[in-house]
Amino acid sequence: MDLFRYASVTWPRRRIPRVIHQTYRTYAIPAIWNTTVQSVMKMNANEFKYRRWSHVDMDTFVRQHESHFYWNTFVSYRYDIQRIDSFRYVLLFHLGGIYIDMDNACHRPFRELVATMEALDPDSTDLALFSAAEVFGIQNNFMISTPGHPIFKQFISRLHLFNHNFLIYHVTILLSVGPLYATIQEYFFKQTDKQVVRILDNRIYRSMFWKTKGGTWFHRDTLMVLYLYYNRHRVLWYSIIFAMWLAALFVLIILFRQQRRHFLTALTMIQTKIITVR
C-alpha cells in the first residue's frame, strides 16, 4: 500500500467520513494519554473532525441505534471493556470514520491512508480497514470504515453468540468482543468488489503510529498471558525439553519394569531348582 502515491490527491467521491472517534470514561483526557491524543488531534486538525465518546454517550448511542443488541447482550456484559469494544463496532457501522485507541499517536496524518483506501477501490461502496496483529489476525485498536459496512453488521449480529465466560478473563475479553472475535468475523466475511476489507500491514502501521502505555483493562491473569506470548519461543523450548524429559523418564520406567520382571522370573527359576535339588 503506497501511502505517498495518493497523499495529496482529492477524489471526487469521498466515501469515508472525515471524523476521528475515541472513547473514555469521561470527556477528560487522562494525563498518561494527553500527548498521544493531542498528537492525533493536531496532526489531523485541518481535515478531520474529532469526537470523544464517554461511557454515558456509548450507552445512549447503542440503546438508540441497536436496541435489540443493547437489551439482549450489551447490558448483560460483565466487564466494561466488553461494552467499550462492542460500541466501536456499532459506532463504525452507523457513522463510519476512524476509530483509534487513546494510547496511539500519529507520525503522519490519516489523509494519506484514507485517500489510498478510496483510490485503490474507486467503485466500491463499502470500505473497511483493520490493523494486522503481530502474530496472526487483526486488531480492533485502529479501524476505518464507511457507514453501513456489512462486516460491522456481521460483527454486531454475532456478538451474542460469543457472550460467554471462557474461564480466563483475558481470553474472555479477546474472544467475546476483542481482537480474536474480530479476527474470526473477518475470516468468515465474504468480500465482494463492492464490499472491501483491507488489512494494514504492521510495517506500515508502525511507520504511522507510536504507542504509549495502555492496557487499562488488564487483570492479573493478563501478566501470565502476556508472559507466555512475549516469551513464546522460550516457553516452547522449555516445553520441548520437558516433554523429552518425560519421554525419557517413561522409557526408563518401562525398562526398569521389564528388567524387574526378568529378575523376578530368574529368581523364581533359581528357587525352584534349589527346591528340586533338595
pLDDT at 134: 82
- What is the Cα–Cα distance from 46 to 64, expressed in whole angstroms? 31
Q: How confident is the model over 151-172, as a mean pLDDT? A: 94
Of the chain, the end-to-end C-alpha distance in Å amounts to 95
Name every residue whose Cβ is closer than 8 Å to that of residue 96 and which is 6 or more positions away in sequence.
16, 17, 19, 145, 146, 147, 148, 149
Cell digits of residue 199: 488489512
- What is the Cα–Cα distance from 140 to 153, expressed in whole angstroms? 15
pLDDT at 236: 62
pLDDT in tens, 204-249: 998 899 888 655 555 555 555 555 555 656 656 666 666 676 676 6
pLDDT in tens, 53-92: 999 999 999 999 999 999 999 999 999 999 999 999 999 9
pLDDT in tens, 171-194: 999 999 999 999 999 999 999 999
> By the 8 A CB rule, do 17 and 147 touch?
yes
Closest listed residue to residue 12, CA positions, set 127, 124, 118, 149: 118
Name every residue whose Cβ is closer than 8 Å to that of residue 160 and which is 6 or more positions away in sequence.
69, 72, 73
DSSP 28-84: SPPGGGHHHHHHHHHHTTTT-EEEEE-HHHHHHHHHHH-HHHHHHTGGG-SSHHHHH
pLDDT in tens, 110-149: 998 999 999 999 999 999 999 998 878 999 999 999 999 9
Q: What share of the chain is helix, strand, coil (3-state, %, to 5)?
A: 55, 15, 30
Cell digits of residue 194: 463492492
Confidence of residue 46 (pLDDT cuts 50, 70, 90): confident
Confidence of residue 96 (pLDDT cuts 50, 70, 90): very high
Helices (H) and strands (E) in the chain, counts: 11, 8
The DSSP letter of residue 26 is S
Which one has a higher pLDDT value, 276 or 92? 92
pTM: predicted TM-score of the whole model, two decimal places: 0.79
Closest listed residue to residue 88, CA positions, set 58, 65, 67, 114: 58
Task: List the beta bridge partners of residue 105.
Answer: 210
Task: Please give the helix or strand (H or E) that residue 145 lies within, else none.
Answer: strand 138-145
Which one has a higher pLDDT value, 169 or 271? 169
| Whole-number Cα distances in Å, 140 to 5, 89, 127 | 26, 9, 16
Mean pLDDT of the chain: 85
pLDDT at 110: 94
Considering Cα of 22, then 24, then 28, then 31, what sign does the dihedral take? Answer: negative
